[in-house]
Amino acid sequence: MNTTAFTLFLIIVGLTLVITYIASKRTKTTSDFYTADGSLTGWQNGLAIAGDYMSAASFLGIAGMIALSGFDGFFYSIGFLVAYLVVLYIVAEPLRNLGKYTMADMIAARFKEKNVRGVAALNTITISIFYMIAQLVGAGALIKLLLGLDYMYSVLIVGVLMTVYVVFGGMMATSWVQIVKALLLMGGTVVISIMVFAKFDFNPIKMFEHMKTATPLGAGFLNPGNKFTNPLDTISLNLALVLGTAGLPHILTRFFTVKDAITARKSVVYATWIIGVFYVMTVFLGFGAASFVGFDKIVAANAAGNMAAPLLAEALGGEFFFAFISAVAFATILAVVAGLVLSAASAFAHDFYSHILRHGKATEREQVVAARWASIGVSILSIILALFAQKMNVAFLVALAFAVAASANLPIILFTIFWKRFNTSGAVTGMIVGLASSLILVAIGPNVWSPEVGKAILVGKPLFSLGNPGIVSIPLGFIAAYLGTVLSSKKEDVRKFDEILVKANTGL
């Protein structure tokens, strides 16, 4: 066991538990639990958004993907970064003006039917669990490497901690854990990037020339096609990454933690700058790992490359720096999974329990109790699923969650805000088709089926050849929402759309 790493892990856990204890004293009402009562400032929420978004997939997965696959790994950095522009210019302000606690609130502001809210909540829970599996897989690999604990126990430790944060501290604890994590992650990444760049005399041309001979891929390291040999797969991946963020429930709910749309917009600007700088630095992490750790050592530690960043820290700064960066990665995972648990639990307690089962008549105390029990249930389900996904690259798993979000949620959000004729039938049809098509295509695709033993979950020939379903499932989500509307005999009140349009743009 790495004693230094273990000590730093304990410090991180202790700090987050203190935050949770303080937050628990201020978490009394449903508004406190779901949205920290809208009390965060623009910069605080910007840091929390960045902390929520810069996940284990980014820090561990992308660094490993670039180190092992070169340019193809950088697709993830570009996609995650560009995605925030869609959020900034299209979704953030209308969502804050129309919603209250969950994404379903925003859709229900126009369509009052319970089936719309129910399907939206189902989408939120599904996407959150998909995303959470990726974080738990990264956590399991990290703790196993550092502390020598079995993968199963590692996942259980993270699972228990994320449940504690949410059950006792709600959104306030989750937000401040994410703020602390964002500061630690940015600090650690800046230091590694400077150390890597210094090895090349701060000369980017020298660094790129070196990479042509530093890996088994040779000069091909800097060209696309090392991992994604099918152009359609590359397009599909990037569609999912760019459009998926605007449909991710745990990102969308962060806009309800500020007092108004102006503050929400400011927080997105802060987050975009922080996230932008971070993703540029993933190039240094990937190049540095490929150069100073080496292909064989990265693969030996984890076949998917998830340990590339901590191993790079060890190569550059020795055991203590290795332990520090690993602790930062650990904090990263804790912060993201807490946000995901809260998002899924809010959808269950607020949308299913309070609005559908109790017809909006649940008391404040009953809603908070339901949300806390839902947090426990979501955590248990995610932990069980993560135990079967140990060998998958975490960046890939997150990309799948993005595909589901872009297919099932984004069409409904955009049509709700911008299409006057859009109706309940279109909303329900679009969400169901988007969700079902993306899940089915993943289930029959090459990540689940492979003729080679050990390459996928099951042995057999995949029926769908693309690794990411986005290029098919995203258009299907839009088409289904359109056809569901135009083929339905039900007409929505035009005056309601005018009211929504004014409220989405002004908050009045």
Chain segment 385-400, per-residue pLDDT in tens: 888 877 666 666 777 7
User: Which CA distances in Å does 449 have to 360, 443, 446, 452, 492?
Assistant: 44, 8, 5, 9, 44
**Contact between residue 299 and residue 124 where contact means Cβ atoms under 8 Å apart:** no
**How much is the pLDDT for 189?**
92
Q: Average pLDDT, stretch 223-247?
A: 85
- Element (DSSP H or E) covering residue 459: strand 458-459
Q: Residue range 350-376: average pLDDT?
A: 84
Burial 179-201 (b: 16+ CB within 10 A, else e): bbbbbbbbebbebbbebbbebbe
Residues 446 and 467: their CA atoms lie apart, in Å, by: 6
Pick from 95-104, 313-322, 369-378, 472-481: least confident: 95-104
Q: Rounded to an integer, what is the distance from CA 262 to the centroid of its chain?
A: 24
Least confident of 6-15, 151-160, 192-201, 331-340: 331-340
Helix and strand element counts for the chain (H, E)? 22, 2
Using only C-alpha atoms, the chain has a radius of gyration, in whole angstroms, of: 22
337 pLDDT tier (thresholds 50, 70, 90)? confident
pLDDT tens, 254-295?
888 888 878 888 888 898 889 889 989 999 999 999 999 988
What pLDDT score does 233 carry?
A: 84
Residue percentage of the chain with pLDDT more than 90: 17
User: What is the mean pLDDT of the segment spanning 104-133?
Assistant: 84
Q: Which residues pair with 289 in a beta bridge?
A: none
Bridge partners (DSSP) of residue 459 are 450
d(C-alpha 61, C-alpha 138), whole Å: 8
From the list 248, 249, 267, the residue with the least C-alpha distance to 257 is 267
Distance CA 27, CA 165 (A): 12
pTM for the full model? 0.82
Q: DSSP alpha helices (H): ranges in 261-363?
A: 261-292, 295-301, 308-346
Report the distance separating Cα 68 and Cα 323, nearest Å. Answer: 23
pLDDT at 191 over 90: yes
Reported confidence tier of residue 30, pLDDT bands at 50, 70, 90: confident
Which pLDDT score is estimated for 159?
A: 84
Residue with tokens 């329900």: 428
The span from the CA of 470 to the CA of 237, in Å, is 7
Helix (H) or strand (E) holding 475: helix 470-486
* CA dist., res. 31 & res. 257, Å (int): 9
**Mean pLDDT computed over 67-79:** 85
Work out whether the CA dihedral 431, 435, 438, 444 comes out positive or negative.
negative
